Amino acid sequence: MDLQQLCQRVIEIARHAGDFIKQEAENFDRSKVEMKGFNNLVSYVDKQAEAQLVDDLRKALPEAGFITEEETATERGETFNWIIDPLDGTTNFTHGLHHFAVSIGLMEGDEVVLGVIYNPMHNECFYATKGNGAYLNDKRIHVSDAPGLKDSLIATGFPYYDFELTQQYLQVLGAFMGTSHGVRRIGSAALDLAYVAAGRFEGFFEYNLNAWDVAAGVVIVQEAGGELSKFTDGGDYIFGREIVASNGSIHKEMLKTIALHWKQALT
């Protein structure tokens, strides 16, 4: 399989879905928002974009299965599986905040080998394939060369349900606020990972995530020269519901900062 050729096709597919999302964003009616659960928003835009993505990706790679947020398709492939978030940042979208993305990852076995993240409102497409580097709109990107946490801007996300660990998380946030250039929370894990890859953030951490939030970003960060782990520096950060991504230079500092407070939640 020619991953680079397939990636160009996936970029076209992501842009096609993004065009639909951008069109709907112009005059979106918030009364059409549905609730999947507490603070878990979904709209016809998510559902229609996902259906479109599944249809197009089936044609691009018929043997692949799917892991999708809105469960448009649920069949798993033996070797290849698409992991899709049609609209990462739905809450931003429904409030008219133009920071959201189409996120498409392709897993071969247990490894992500292709990732595309597209923000239609800013016309920024981040993408990578295993072994071929990471790109933003055809320009090669690399993680930041900031040497330490004190030189870094950190991104995170807040859980929208299951607030049992809130106090521990606030302690972690406080620690990062006191040891870095600052902490940002802008509402799309996919774009947070893409921004680490592009050197806009030095690090990102979050818990209570799903595979479709991070799959595409994982390979983009890796190919941009970054490092990834769980909070405990091991395990499955794609399906393990927590992730730390960094430029590599600050990774140990990030893990140490998190561990000082997060371990309290795990005992």
- What's the pLDDT at 33? 66
Residues 6+ apart with CB under 8 A from 222: 128, 130, 228
Q: What is the pTM of this model?
A: 0.93
Superfamily in which the 3-141 domain is placed by CATH: Fructose-1,6-Bisphosphatase, subunit A, domain 1 (3.30.540.10)
Spatial CB neighbours of 95, under 8 Å, sequence gap ≥ 6: 30
CB 83 within 8 A of CB 50: no
Return phi, psi of residue 203, to 5°: -155, 160
How is the beta sheet containing 65-68 ordered, strand by strand? 65-68, 80-88, 101-108, 111-119, 124-129, 134-136, 139-141
For residues 239 and 218, the answer to whether their CB atoms sit within 8 Å is no
The token duo for 153 is 């801007």
Residue 183 pairs in a beta bridge with 154
The predicted pLDDT at position 141 comes to: 98
CA 116 centroid distance within chain: 10
Ordered by start, the domain boundaries in the chain are: 3-141, 149-266
- Alpha-carbon distance 262 to 267, whole Å? 9
Instruction: State the CATH architecture for 149-266.
Output: 3-Layer(aba) Sandwich (3.40)
Is 3-141's fold the same as 149-266's? no
Phi-psi region at 47: left, alpha or beta (left = phi > 0; alpha = psi -120 to 50): alpha
* Three-class SS state of 208: coil
pLDDT at residue number 267 = 42
Q: Can you list the residues of the chain whose pLDDT is less than 50? A: 37-40, 264-267
The per-residue pLDDT for range 117-137, each reduced to its tens digit, is 999 999 999 999 999 999 999
- Beta-bridged to residue 115, according to DSSP, are 105, 128
Say if CB 208 and CB 262 are below 8 A apart: no
Closest CA to 218 of 245, 200, 195, 236: 245
